Amino acid sequence: MSVLDTGAVALAAYGAGLMLLYSVALAIYRVTLHPLAKFPGPKLAATTEWYEFYHDIVRQGQFIWHIQKLHDQYGPIVRIMPNELHIRDPDYYDEIYAPSSKKRDKSEAWVRSTHEFLMRSNTTSGFATVDHHLHRLRRAPLNPFFSKKSITDKESQIRDKVEHLCRRLAAAAAKTGDEGVVRLDVAFTALTMDIITDFAFGERTRHLDEPDFGLLWKETLVAQSANAVFLRQFPWLWPVLQRTPLRLLRLLQHPAAGLVVWRDLTRERIGRIIAANAAGKRAEGSIFQTVLDSDLPAAEKSAERLEAEAQIVLGAGTETTAKSLAMVAFYLNEDKAKLRRLRGRLRGRGRRRMGHRLHHGRRPHDVRRHRPPPRVAREPLQYRDWSIPPGTPVSQMNYVVNNDPDLFPRPLEFHPERWVDAPERADGRRLERYMVSFMRGSRSCIGINLAWAELYLALAHVVARFDLPPYDTTAERDLVIDRDLFVGVPKPESKGIRAKVVCL
């Protein structure tokens, strides 16, 4: 071996030794001297972010269930990563996801790693905005669009697309055998996709016209969630995928190819609306025309920022409501007594929150997992006897709050009567306070009024006209959340929520 080779080996060994020494020193610091060292939790979680990687990637979306086990072992507050705490206490939820009077930033580390995948290393969407004040600035122009009055004024647009869906269902009912079977989760996704695209750009899409209701886009949304978990751990891979020729990407990683197509299509739509606006051809009544008309600084109206915002709005405005509708349809057709009762109420004026608590996903401006993005307080937080240092990311799972058996007895059962009986609770607690499917606080779901309008109108029309007996579909395989892949998904072998359509 030459002197040069010997020197290179020695230098490599020296570098490896330094890295090992640094890693050991960092681990010792995190366990003994770190500001969070006093908090309960496993030492391995306190030592390395690979703890999350193991449970989310190796075990495929199981971290949320593991966090539950940690709480069972360590109590209501647990250190789940070197720099993050998790709390299991529904009555403390509003302190973490607080109203605007209490300034809460998003965790910069969480946003940076996630957003490099979702938005091409662009942190300009409302979802990716870390700073509390900047988020309020970016959200302000959209608030009037999503107000109750605005959504009420747009009710005819929603009804038109619901009627279109009903025509497709009636056509399916006229067919025999498997041709009369519809994947409800895909059909409702086509509905919500057509609605949100129309609202966002003033453009009509035709997913409801496609023979398979645009299954490709449904799969793309699911792929976005699944890839997000992996690429959050390795965000540097996303730029590599973007530079890979699309034909090759389809062969190597088909879901990622769908995401690239999604990105390009969104970019084209934003480009069209900006160009049309400059030419005086305004897309009146659309979300992004509203942004362009606002008094935001010019930099906040750039094509790059609006593209980032559009990907969030379209993705978030589609999957959650569609999945909730499909779940409600399944459970109602499994329980004919409840179905009859609902039809009786529809002949009157009864409306209740029937299914959204059972599905926890994403809505505009806050793509959220069952363990949503941590919040960061600028001041110390006090939880019982624990003083949480300022700047500490703290989270609480929507799934756990929505399924707390002390709040929602038999939480995993489809039991819409709980909302009717809620005012009569002996402890006087209002259940609405604890339904956090739309999050809470200053970054809660901006699209809540649109979501309820879609749920009420679609459910009322579909239930009144069709029976939808489940077809080769079970709750255990096709509905119950099995993995947390950015949003909750069922078992890998799921075939979707399918039903045979029968006209009444």
Residues 479-501: tens digit of each pLDDT: 988 888 777 888 989 999 999 99
pLDDT for residue 123: 55
pLDDT for residue 456: 93
Strands (E), 12-147: 77-81, 84-87, 104-106
Domain map (residue ranges) of the chain: 3-109, 132-503
Q: Is the dihedral of CA 165, 463, 215, 317 positive or negative?
A: positive
Q: Give whichever of 37-41, 303-307, 492-496 has the largest mean pLDDT.
A: 37-41
HSE value, Cβ hemisphere, 13 Å, CA-based, for 33 = 5
pLDDT for residue 237: 73
Strands (E), 324-430: 362-363, 366-367, 375-377, 381-383, 386-388, 393-395
Lowest mean pLDDT among 10-19, 25-34, 80-89, 167-176: 10-19
Q: Could you give the CA distance from residue 486 to residue 371 in angstroms, rounded to a whole number?
A: 9
pLDDT for residue 289: 94
Range 355-383 average pLDDT: 64
Range 285-292 average pLDDT: 93
The rounded Cα 259 to chain-centroid distance in angstroms is: 16
For the record, the structure tokens of 324 come out as: 């909730």
pLDDT for residue 12: 74
Start-to-end Cα distance in the chain: 86
Using an 8 Å Cβ cutoff, are 95 and 63 in contact?
A: no
Closest to 61 in 3D by CA, of 493, 492, 496, 375: 492
Range 258-283 average pLDDT: 89
pLDDT over threshold 50, residue 29: yes
pLDDT for residue 368: 38
Phi, psi of 393 (to 5 degrees): -65, 130
State the chain's mean pLDDT as an integer.
85
Q: Which amino acid is at 287?
A: I
pLDDT for residue 251: 75
Q: Could you give the CA distance from residue 155 to residue 161 in angstroms, rounded to a whole number?
A: 10
pLDDT-derived band at 221, boundaries 50, 70, 90: confident
For the record, the structure tokens of 499 come out as: 């039903």
For the record, the structure tokens of 419 come out as: 């909302």
Q: Could you give the CA distance from residue 112 to residue 64 in angstroms, rounded to a whole number?
A: 21
Which CATH number does the domain 132-503 belong to among 3.40.640.10, 2.60.40.420, 1.10.3210.10, 1.10.630.10?
Answer: 1.10.630.10
Using an 8 Å Cβ cutoff, are 63 and 51 in contact?
A: no
